[in-house]
Amino acid sequence: MTAYIQKSAPSYPNWFSVLGSDRVEVLVPRGRINYARPGRPPKYIDGGIYLQIDVRSLSPVQRQRLVQYYSQKWKLPTHMVEEWLSDSGNGIPLLASDVVDVAMGLFS
């Protein structure tokens, strides 16, 4: 599914700096999401108010910027963030309220 991040969302500048766009592919999470950063105990958030950025859909440049962003934000080495992203259980939560529209491909 394709989501469009609202320009008025507080997180918009950060996501735009990573994505280079307001458009992102998302997954609809099922149940609780473990969003603990690397080296921390599990931190569960409610999947009902979040979408998840589909990390697999990111271009190499977007992925590199995402790794750099989280590395700086969390003060962690980039290799730890990259390993965390590579773990299939780690989608990137995106508040559903920060999204203006979600489009699903009906014929895919």
For 28-53, write each residue's pLDDT tens digit: 766 677 677 777 777 777 666 788 89
Backbone torsion region of residue 58, taken as left when φ is above 0, otherwise alpha when ψ lies between -120 and 50, otherwise beta: beta
- Domain of 36, in residue numbers: 2-103
Residue 15 within a domain: yes
Number of domains in the chain: 1
Residue 37 within a domain: yes
For 58-101, write each residue's pLDDT tens digit: 999 999 999 999 999 999 999 999 988 887 566 788 888 899 87
Residue 94 within a domain: yes
Residue 108 within a domain: no
Q: Both tokens of residue 97?
A: 């309220």
pTM over 0.75: yes
